[in-house]
């Protein structure tokens, strides 16, 4: 009987303690039969790092490569040309420029203009010498050919002859001084002075004027002898060259050269 009572009391105590441990953590700790409490550390996951954007390098700008200039052909050839008809004349004028792209001077260069009618047949031709008798290597020389032609004809120009030996001594070493172009509309004249920069006296000195449009094409050319035509060392003389016609409407630039011989 006493054992039954003890067992009943023990079961009652166990029930009370179990209920306290289930509802109160501190009761669990105080009821620890070994007298200590085990704490489990709280582990928390840190927030993920904020992603850093990688800067995108700028797209490199391509440096434009200038076009390679087309090399000029070797030899002596017509560089540019055009034609016009003065209002007072029944003749057409074919004007242009010859380049000596060889390694030596040439002399008495002949340029021929051949005209073709509507059927493509040769209808006429004429020729002229360049206005510079001597064309040094790398120099340009203008030409002017006069011919009777119809308005609907076409034409071609070609160099038909030149010499490689000189028949006289020629000089281009002159200074062009105070050259100006004047005029308006269909009239223009270029005036200036030529000075002899050499130690020799040169005869029959002439000044040549070449007119260009904005594209560098020759639109007209002419020359005139100085007065006086003989130039001693250091001496200078004036010149005047006049132009007239519809070609002057496209005038953009001009060049002056001089030549003498002895």
The 10s digit of each residue's pLDDT in 170-181 is 999 999 999 998
Nearest to 21 by CA among 11, 29, 12: 29
Q: Are 238 and 227 contacting, i.e. CB atoms less than 8 angstroms apart?
A: yes
| Average pLDDT of every residue of the chain | 85
Decide: helix, strand or coil at residue 170.
strand
CA distance 158 to 111: 6
Q: How far apart are CA 97 and CA 94, in angstroms?
A: 10
Q: Helix, strand, or coil here: 64?
A: coil
Using the predicted structure, report yes or no on whether residue 71 has a pLDDT greater than 80: no
High-pLDDT (> 90) share of the chain, %: 63
Residue 38 has pLDDT above 80, yes or no: no
Q: Tell me the mean pLDDT in the region 8-31.
A: 52
Has residue 93 got a pLDDT over 70? yes
pLDDT, position 4: 55
pLDDT at 27: 46
Long-range CB contacts for residues 81-87, cutoff 8 Å, separation at least 24 = 81/157, 81/217, 81/218, 82/217, 82/218, 82/219, 82/247, 83/155, 84/219, 84/220, 84/245, 84/246, 84/247, 85/151, 85/245, 85/246, 86/244, 86/245, 86/246, 87/186, 87/245, 87/246
Mean pLDDT in residue range 27-36: 48
pTM: 0.72
Residue with the larger pLDDT of the pair 119 and 4: 119
Whole-number pLDDT of residue 46: 64
Residue 1 has pLDDT above 50, yes or no: yes
Residue 184, phi then psi, degrees to nearest 5: -155, 160
Which residues are 195's β-sheet partners?
175, 236
Distance CA 203, CA 113 (A): 31
């Amino acid at each position: 009987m006493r054992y039954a009572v003890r067992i009943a009391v023990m079961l009652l105590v166990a029930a009370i303690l179990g209920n306290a441990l289930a509802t109160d953590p501190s009761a669990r700790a105080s009821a620890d039969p070994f007298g200590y409490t085990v704490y489990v550390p709280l582990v928390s996951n840190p927030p993920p790092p904020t992603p850093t954007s990688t800067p995108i390098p700028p797209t490199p700008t391509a440096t434009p490569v200038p076009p390679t200039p087309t090399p000029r052909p070797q030899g002596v050839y017509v560089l540019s040309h055009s034609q016009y008809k003065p209002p007072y004349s029944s003749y057409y004028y074919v004007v242009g420029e010859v380049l000596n792209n060889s390694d030596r001077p040439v002399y008495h260069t002949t340029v021929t203009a051949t005209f073709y009618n509507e059927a493509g047949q040769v209808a006429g031709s004429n020729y002229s010498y360049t206005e510079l008798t001597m064309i040094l290597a790398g120099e340009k020389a203008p030409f002017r050919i006069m011919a009777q032609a119809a308005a609907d004809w076409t034409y071609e120009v070609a160099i038909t002859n030149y010499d490689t030996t000189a028949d006289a001594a020629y000089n281009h070493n002159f200074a062009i001084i105070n050259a100006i172009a004047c005029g308006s509309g269909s009239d223009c004249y270029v005036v200036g002075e030529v000075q002899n920069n050499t130690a020799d006296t040169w005869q029959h000195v002439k000044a040549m004027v070449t007119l260009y449009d904005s594209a560098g094409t020759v639109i007209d050319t002419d020359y005139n002898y100085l007065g006086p035509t003989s130039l001693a060392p250091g001496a200078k003389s004036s010149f005047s060259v006049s132009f007239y016609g519809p070609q002057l409407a496209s005038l953009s630039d001009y060049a002056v050269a001089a030549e003498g011989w002895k």
